[in-house]
Amino acid sequence: MLNQQQENRLLEITANLIKFKSITPNDAGSLNYIQGLLIDLGFSCIRLDKNETTNLVATYGDIHNTPIFAFAGHVDVVPVGTLSKWTHDPFTLTDTNGILYGRGIADMKGGIASFILACEIFIQSTNNNKQNQSHKSSIMIMLTSDEEGFGIDGTPVIVDYLKKNNIRLSCCLVGEPTSEHTIGDMIKIGRRGSVNCHLEIIGQDGHIAYPHLANNPIHLFTPILQEILNIKWDDGTDDFPPTSLQMSNINSGVGVDNVIPRSLYAKFNIRYNTHHTFDSIKNKIEDILHKYKIAHNISWNNSAIPFISKKGVFVDSFIKSIQEVTGTIPKLSTTGGTSDARFLVDVSDEIVECGLPNQYIHKIDESINKSDLIKLTEIYTLLLR
């Protein structure tokens, strides 16, 4: 359990992080602040900045000759939206009857503050206990300012650094907000793959009163769309839900009532499990398009491949830590969106995502319960021990 002094320290770090207007990919000075905290704890820090993105890798102990416990996270946040809709200043931590408000409090500055304080507590207790000092291990903290954006200059740069230096993580904790209703009720041990498709159906424009002189792309696309939506991908696996396709945008027309458009544009996303590969998904969709023999342009982006972490000592320790702090056993899940774990799995023996509840992430008046922030810190501290 955290004492009052530790709780105050947790809120101090959290409040300082919220102050930084770190809208992706601008860290707004937040990584300099964190770097200062970690250096004071005895961490060695290097920066791997690229283009507009700032990246920090901090290490405690001998990472080349000991098991590495790693924490990964991001300081960047999404834009606040309509500022007048916020009840409180989004960049000032506000405590209202035990509810903490601020942009990024849940996703994921609160989680970063929790882990920093957990490290403070752990390192101080280790330094004060000669028996603990005999245990050889190391801690690594990896932070980026480009997770909410394109992500290409963030964690992938850190992963490249680890590979070039032959550094492999024994276990990696990604502090994403994975809890659903109560702290620690869900942890992620994998993620689905994600494919984005941009499609243009090409017809022939013309006057709407003379359809025989035109070829309406909306009409052309209708049976194709129905067939795509009727695809039965799979029934899921023991670890993953069924693959799903969702349309995100369909657009056509020139904005008037009497013109048949030339083109229709459609965007859709497929979240897929290990029954499929990018190529198998791509081929299934393109086979349907070719069957209808309609002129089209298509582009693909495979932004993530599905992965599942080994369920070993780290996962077991996580479950025990959550159970000891909260009294509940977490659900192991692979649902939700993509995260930077998709990059870090290549350099990690075990990888788990666990953080604050996600009911209010990316929303106006983003908030968490103060008690959840405290409990998460206790979970992280126990896990480190």
From 120, 146, 147, 353, the catalytic residue: 147
**Virtual CA dihedral for 217, 222, 225, 229, nearest 10 degrees?**
170
From 27, 76, 107, 353, the catalytic residue: 76
Longest dimension (CA), the chain: 89
Q: How many residues are there in the chain?
A: 385
DSSP states of 60-101: ES-TTTS-EEEEEEE--B-----GGG-SS-TTS-EEETTEEE
One-letter amino acid for residue 109 of the chain: K
The CA distance from 206 to 4, in Å, is 73
The phi and psi torsions of 160 (rounded to 5 degrees) equal -60, -40
165 contacts 312 by C-beta, under 8 angstroms = no
Rama region for 300: left / alpha / beta (φ>0; ψ in -120 to 50; rest): beta
- Comparing C-alpha atoms, which of 135, 137, 193, 189 is closest to residue 312? 189
Active site residue 76: yes
**Virtual CA dihedral for 353, 354, 357, 359, nearest 10 degrees?**
10
Strands (E), the chain: 44-47, 55-60, 68-74, 94-96, 99-101, 138-144, 169-174, 186-188, 190-191, 193-202, 206-207, 244-252, 259-260, 263-272, 296-304, 307-308, 331-333, 348-353, 367-369
269 contacts 196 by C-beta, under 8 angstroms = yes
- Nearest-5° angle of CA 53, CA 141, CA 106? 75
Q: Token pair for residue 129?
A: 């206990």
The CA distance from 369 to 343, in Å, is 30
Give Cα separations from 328 to 176, 180, 355, 370 (angstroms): 19, 13, 15, 19
Q: Which residues carry out catalysis?
A: 76, 147
